[in-house]
Amino acid sequence: MESVDAVGVAPAVFPAIVSSSVPPPGADRAASRPHRPAVHHRKEEMSHTDTPVVLITGATSGIGFETALRLSQLGTAVIIHGPHELPVRQALTRLQHRGADVRYLDGAVADFARLGEVVALAEHVHARHRRLDVLVNNAAMAAPAARCRSTDGNELTLQVNYLAHYLLSRLLRERLRAADGRVISVSSATHRATDLDWTDPQRQLAYRPQVAYAQSKLALTMFSRALAQREPQLTAISVDPGSTDTALLPSYGGIGQPATAGADAVLQLCSARIRVRTGAFYTGLQIGVPNPLVHDDKALDRLWRLSTALVGLDRAIAARAA
Ligand SMILES: NC(=O)c1ccc[n+]([C@@H]2O[C@H](COP(=O)([O-])OP(=O)(O)OC[C@H]3O[C@@H](n4cnc5c(N)ncnc54)[C@H](OP(=O)(O)O)[C@@H]3O)[C@@H](O)[C@H]2O)c1
C-alpha cells in the first residue's frame, strides 16, 4: 500500500474549510449561522491515491462506528462523520486505540438538520480527498415524539434520514463516478410497512413518529434505486442491517444483534470484491424484497423531483457551476 502523509496523532481543529462559494440550500434562513469547524488532522488535502476512501455518515456510534473500525483496520481510509464535534473526536480516538492507523482517518462534522452543513461536508470531501470510493448513507435519528422542523423547514426526520443523504450523494457523485464508486444506503425493514404520503410528505396534517421514521427509510430506499437508474457508472444499493443493539434500537425494536453483526453486511457490501446488483435492496447480504414503491418508476421520478425541490439542489449546483 502506498504511504500517505504522516500526520499528528492528536486531532487538531482548524478553521472551517467548509466555507465555499456555494450558497447552501436554505441559506436565506440559515445565513447568520456560522459553519461549524470540520474536525480533521491537517488542513491540506490528504494525499491518498491508491488507498480507497470511504465516507460513513453517522460513524460516531453503532453500525457506522463498527463499520469504520473494521474498514480502517483493513487499511481503508475512512472519513468519520457525525453531527457534533466532540463525538467525532471521541470516535477518532477510540478508533486509534483499537488499532486504526491515524494516517488513514479523517473527521468531519455536519448536522444534517441543516442542509448548509451537508453542502459543507461535500466541500470538505472535495477539498481533502482526491478520491471517494464508497459513500455509506448511514446516519439516522429516531423521530421525535412531536413533529419538528429543520432549519430548512422540512420535517426533521425526513431531512436527517433522507433529504441530507439525497443532497450529499448528488453533490459527491462526480468523485464517486471517477472511482466507479458505490453508494450504500442503510435502510430498515420498517420501510416496507409504510407509504409515501404524496399529499403530505412532510406530515403536517398527521404526524406519528414511527411513520415518520419509516417514511424516511422508504424514501432513502427508493432513492437508492433511482440513483442506480440515473447513474450507471455508480453502484447504488440499500441494505437493512437487521435489528441491532444501538442507541436507535429502543425506538424501533426490542432485541438486537451486536453492532458488530449489524456492521458486517455493510462492511462486506463496501468491498469492491463483493459483487452486488446495483439498484437492489439487500437484507443483510441477500437480495431482499423492498416496499413495492421501490420498483415503481413513476414514484421514483416523483420522489426525485420532490427531493430536488426540497433541498434546493438546482440552485446549489447552478451556483457551483457559475
Ligand atoms: N439499530 C437497528 O436495529 C437498526 C435496524 C435497521 C436499520 N438501522 C439503521 O442503521 C443506521 C445506523 O443506526 P444505528 O442503529 O447504528 O444507530 P446510532 O448508533 O444511533 O447511529 C446513528 C448515527 O447517526 C448520527 N446522527 C444522528 N442525528 C444526526 C444528525 N442530525 N446529523 C447527522 N448525523 C446524525 C449519530 O450521531 P451522534 O450519535 O454523534 O449524535 C450516529 O452517529 C441508521 O440508518 C438506522 O436507521 C438500524
**Tens of pLDDT along 101-123?**
888 999 999 999 999 999 999 99
Question: What are the residues whose beta carbons fall under 8 Å from the beta carbon of 258, sequence distance 6 or more?
Answer: 244, 245
Q: Which one, of 156, 110, 102, lies nearest residue 137 by Cα? A: 110
pLDDT at residue 285 tops 90: yes
Strands (E), the chain: 12-13, 39-40, 53-56, 77-82, 105-109, 134-137, 182-186, 235-240, 281-283, 286-287
108: which 3 cell numbers? 468531519
Instruction: Tell how far the Cα of 110 is from the centroid of ligand 1, in angstroms.
Output: 14
**Residues of the chain with pLDDT > 90: what percent?**
75
Q: pLDDT, tens digit, for every residue of 188-231?
A: 999 999 999 999 999 999 999 999 999 999 999 999 999 999 99
Catalytic (active site) residue 104: no
Query: Which atom of ligand 1 is least distant from the CA of 59?
Result: 43
| CA-to-CA separations, 256 to 99, 223, 251, in angstroms, rounded | 26, 26, 12
Catalytic residue, from 104, 162, 166, 213: name it: 213
pLDDT value, residue 37: 44
Question: What are the residues whose beta carbons fall under 8 Å from the beta carbon of 305, sequence distance 6 or more?
Answer: none
Q: Which of 248, 252, 255, 257 to mutate to test the pocket of ligand 1 (most atoms within 8 A of CB)?
A: 248
Domains of the chain (ranges; CATH) run 49-321 (3.40.50.720)
